[in-house]
Amino acid sequence: MRLANVWNLGIKELRGLLRDPILLILIVYSFSLSIYTSAKAMPETLNKAAIAIVDEDGSQLSARIAGAFYPPYFTAPNMISTAEMDARMDAGLETFALTIPADFQRDLLAGRQPVIQLNVDATRMTQAFTGTGYVQSIVTYEVNEFLSRHRDAPQMPADLVLRARFNPNLSQSWFGAISDVITSITMLGIVLTGAALIREREYGTVEHLLVMPVTATEIMVAKIWSMGAVVLLASALAIWVVVEGLLAVPIPGSLPLFIFGTALQLYAITALGIFLATVAGSMPQFGLLLVLVFLPMQVLSGTMTPRESMPEVIQTIMLAAPNTHFAILAQAILFRGAGLSVVWPQLLALAGIGTGLFAFALFRFRAFLR
């Protein structure tokens, strides 16, 4: 294999990428706006949930309950009538509608157990799931305070001291931003190499390559290093500009170590992209293969949900996928500040899996060129 051929062929791939505006837009979006929106769009904590209250009691206790809902968890409650409630929820104006019945305070003081009705718009899944517990806790707390005639912290038999490590503010944006960087690296690594090979077929330049004094290995290595370099540069800029800059997410670990791990991940995943491109006959077929391969790999890798929550057989099977080891490595470095002494097994696994995928893809690529 001649390095001059590999270099020149790689430069040719970069020039071809520069002439493809759709892929350029995808790269910029994946490592900028996609990361920012993933960090900001779907907070796990309740934020500005719309609530309405039907106060049929008009008592001191019902006023206290209504006054307990305030920003940032809820918007200021809208005081409505029973006749308005269904229409407003049908129109999607409120996520929660709390109905306090008549004589609620009197029945409570008399030792009875009055019932408060909470209507929830379950189509707003995240707010509905989280906010129901918030509403129940607020109502229970206000009722207990009213009955005890004083505001006091509940007495617990044991004192629980919470120390949140690595994310002391429990900010969901920290996790969302870094997780999207990991996802974008894997997705773009497959897409760019696969598209580069399919572009050769669609433009008819594969025949030109076959009559040139270059080998299949040189062609494949050129596609891998050029497209991998683009993703590697874009991911480094995304962490520096978007994650650390715009989102102000602190990175406790070593960025050079993460970049090295990313290079090994791209070594494996770009080879997989070339293999998929040799199987697919066109770009639409490649897109279908990408969905069938990328989504299961990403969902079961531990990026979105912990691997420990999956069946053991799935955990064992997914050890053959590079995503699994890359997710463990990236989360350890970027979240917990792990060093080489912690992540070296994942680095070795990525190198081994990448070499296997490279050899398999090269065998298929040689058959593709014949």
The answer, yes or no, to whether residue 231 has pLDDT greater than 90, is yes
Q: Are residues 139 and 190 in the same domain?
A: no
Within-domain flag for 161:
no
Rounded CA gap, 299 and 72, in Å?
Answer: 32
Q: Are residues 215 and 308 in the same domain?
A: yes
Q: What is the CATH number of the domain that holds 131?
A: 3.40.1710.10
Rounded CA gap, 231 and 59, in Å?
Answer: 62
Q: Are residues 200 and 325 in the same domain?
A: yes
> What three-state secondary structure class fits 213?
coil
Q: Are residues 121 and 235 in the same domain?
A: no
pLDDT of 257 reads 93
The answer, yes or no, to whether residue 43 has pLDDT greater than 70, is no
Q: Are residues 36 and 55 in the same domain?
A: no
Q: Are residues 79 and 220 in the same domain?
A: no
Q: Are residues 235 and 192 in the same domain?
A: yes
| Helices 322-336 and 340-369: angle between axes, nearest 10 degrees | 150
The model's confidence at residue 45, banded by pLDDT at 50, 70 and 90, is: low
Within-domain flag for 83:
yes
Average pLDDT over residues 9-25: 89
Within-domain flag for 361:
yes
The answer, yes or no, to whether residue 72 has pLDDT greater than 70, is yes
The model's confidence at residue 44, banded by pLDDT at 50, 70 and 90, is: low
Within-domain flag for 318:
yes
> Rounded to the nearest 5°, which phi and psi values hold at 5?
-65, -40
Within-domain flag for 309:
yes
pLDDT of 307 reads 82
Q: Are residues 201 and 123 in the same domain?
A: no
Q: Are residues 272 and 310 in the same domain?
A: yes
The answer, yes or no, to whether residue 81 has pLDDT greater than 80, is yes
The last residue of one of the domains, among 86, 115, 148, is 148
pLDDT of 124 reads 80
pLDDT tens string 195-205:
888 888 777 77
Q: Are residues 317 and 187 in the same domain?
A: yes
Average pLDDT over residues 270-290: 87
Residue 351 domain boundaries? 3-41+171-369
The last residue of one of the domains, among 99, 133, 148, is 148
pLDDT of 120 reads 92
Rounded CA gap, 221 and 216, in Å?
Answer: 9
Contacts of 11 (CB under 8 A, 6+ apart): 226
Q: Are residues 21 and 61 in the same domain?
A: no
Counting the structural domains of the chain, the total is 2
pLDDT tens string 295-320:
888 888 887 777 888 888 988 898 88
The model's confidence at residue 37, banded by pLDDT at 50, 70 and 90, is: confident
Within-domain flag for 154:
no
Within-domain flag for 295:
yes
Rounded CA gap, 173 and 247, in Å?
Answer: 8
Q: Are residues 179 and 326 in the same domain?
A: yes
pLDDT of 351 reads 94
Within-domain flag for 360:
yes
The answer, yes or no, to whether residue 176 has pLDDT greater than 90, is no
Cis peptide before 252 (omega within 30 of 0): no
pLDDT of 101 reads 92
pLDDT of 165 reads 75
